Amino acid sequence: MNKPLILIVEDDPPIRNLISVALESHDYRALVAANAGSAIMEASSHNPDIMLLDLGLPDLDGVEVIRKIRSWSNMPIIVISARSDDSDKIEALDAGADDYLTKPFSVDELLARLRVTLRRLNQAQNESPETAVFVNGPLRIDYAAGCAYMREEELHLTPIEYKLLCVLARNCGKVLTHKYITQQVWGTAWETNVASLRVFMATLRKKLESSSDTQVYIQTHVGIGYRMMKVSE
């Protein structure tokens, strides 16, 4: 694979330079944009592999940038946001962002997020959308048969748990908000569903993780949502 091209959208010059230098010294190519207008222009003319997007931009809210980009592109977007703004992160994820980084973050953290996203991207390119089987380490979901297996042993899931597992699997590597998940599973995002989501998630996780050593499949993002992690074999 060629060096991945990352578009850095950040209006703060020192942070922008820091990210760009860090990426270039770790085998990435970096493109930069200091505002929403040039971010959209750079994204459409260079088609970067991943966009790193600061939410607080001078000309337009970062969430609006995500909505615009999502009208024509599925490029992964990792949002960069301040610590106190969970609601901003949720709004950004619901608008179509893939992941988020909280300021201040370390270069290691940034590199780790990029690796997760690239892995997901490569996997998505190797799978057709009609793929009837999902495999993540020892976990296998046979969508056509409506069954899930761990190390070739069928998991006994309730219909809701199975639906939940499929929503997570179809978005493996991506952070999903409570609202998104409940909408997918129940068709609505009522508060009562968010509360039951927690319960169903706990039982699903127990079933996945008790039968598979110590692999962590489901990551909790407190106050935000959940993500299925790609696990090793």
The residues that touch Ca ion, with contacts defined as CB under 5 A, are 11, 54, 56
CB 82 → Ca ion: shortest distance, Å?
Answer: 9
CB 136 → Ca ion: shortest distance, Å?
Answer: 35
Nearer to Ca ion, 31 or 141 (CB): 31
Q: Which residues contact 184 (CB under 8 A, 6 or more apart)?
A: 163, 167
Nearest CA to 154 out of 167, 141, 172 is that of 141
DSSP 3-state percent helix, strand, coil across the chain (nearest 5)? 45, 20, 35
CB 34 → Ca ion: shortest distance, Å?
Answer: 10
Provide the edge-to-edge strand list for the sheet that holds 99-103. 29-33, 5-9, 50-54, 77-82, 99-103
CB 198 within 8 A of CB 144: no
Nearer to Ca ion, 104 or 187 (CB): 104
Kindly list the distances between the CA atom of residue 187 and the CA atoms of 11, 29, 179, in Å, as whole numbers in the listed order.
Answer: 38, 41, 10
Nearer to Ca ion, 31 or 34 (CB): 34
Interhelix angle 178-186/86-95, rounded to 10 degrees, is 40
CA distance 32 to 212: 42
Nearer to Ca ion, 11 or 142 (CB): 11
Q: Which residues contact 28 (CB under 8 A, 6 or more apart)?
A: 3, 4, 5, 6, 114
Nearer to Ca ion, 11 or 209 (CB): 11
Nearer to Ca ion, 56 or 137 (CB): 56
CB 65 → Ca ion: shortest distance, Å?
Answer: 12
CA distance 138 to 11: 43
Nearest residue to Ca ion by CB is 56
CB 56 → Ca ion: shortest distance, Å?
Answer: 4
CB 106 → Ca ion: shortest distance, Å?
Answer: 18
Nearer to Ca ion, 54 or 99 (CB): 54
CB 44 → Ca ion: shortest distance, Å?
Answer: 22
